[in-house]
Amino acid sequence: MFKRVLLKISGEALSSETSVLCSNKIKATATTLASLQARGFELGIVVGGGNILRGRNASNMERNRADHIGMLATVINSLTLQDTLEQLGAPCVVLSAVDMPRFCDSYTSRHAKLCLAEGKIVVFACGSGCPYFSTDTAAALRAAEIDAEVLLLAKNVDAIYSDDPKRNPNAKRYDHINYQKIIQDNLNALDITAVTLCSEQDIPIHVFALSEILPVFSGEHVGTRIDACS
């Protein structure tokens, strides 16, 4: 079982159909994370910004600018999550890939690892700090930098499939798959750049539904595990 993890959650973990920032969803997500911290897990968190703006989907904007706005969206989500975690008594720090000292600390891997060792939840804001890279890739990068034992991706799908299961009811569901298969078949449930980085650094990936965070940390076999298996 793992101890230090990088958990990536979508912005939808903090939103509802009627609210970009839903207090009930925010508290439920923070309560889950606080309970995991109390169990002794060292948690690095990357929060997406898709509830506010996902850069690659802002087709009417210049992509570089859209991604910058998406990064700022992750800051809003990160600070929101931090506030709720601290209200629950869970120590938490937000580290940003883009310097904004009035709002949060700047990211360095040494600072992040020190905070994790002190028992703080570390929330990484602004993705990688560069446009054209998804928060999946930012999560893989941070996982490598903090020596995480696993990259956990909580998504809006419950596993990796051979095709979009919403469009193709015959799509094959994978319980276990290797990095190379993901790359060769261009299975787009997650960013291929993130898979390549994890493959190079030998970091296993676990993809699962947002609602299954606690089962994953309890060792239950849910979602899809990605590693160097043959």
CATH classification of the domain holding 30: 3.40.1160.10
Over residues 53-73, the mean pLDDT reads 83
Structure confidence at residue 29 (pLDDT): 97
Task: Write out the chain in H/E/C secondary structure.
Answer: CCCEEEEEECHHHHCCCCCCCCHHHHHHHHHHHHHHHHCCCEEEEEECCCCCCCHHHCCCCCHHHHHHHHHHHHHHHHHHHHHHHHHCCCCEEEEECCCCCCCCEECCHHHHHHHHHCCCEEEEECCCCCCCCCHHHHHHHHHHHCCCCEEEEEECCCCEECCCCCCCCCCCEECEEEHHHHHHCCCCCCCHHHHHHHHHHCCCEEEEEHHHHHHHHCCCCCCEEEECCC
For the stretch 15-27, pLDDT in tens is 999 999 999 999 9
For the stretch 179-229, pLDDT in tens is 999 999 988 778 999 999 999 999 999 999 999 999 999 999 899 999 988
Count of structural domains, the chain: 1
Over residues 63-85, the mean pLDDT reads 95
Residue 56 has pLDDT above 70, yes or no: no
Mean pLDDT score of the chain:
94
- Domain holding 175, by residue range, is 4-227
For the stretch 145-156, pLDDT in tens is 999 999 999 998
> How would residue 125 be classed by pLDDT, with cut points 50, 70 and 90?
very high
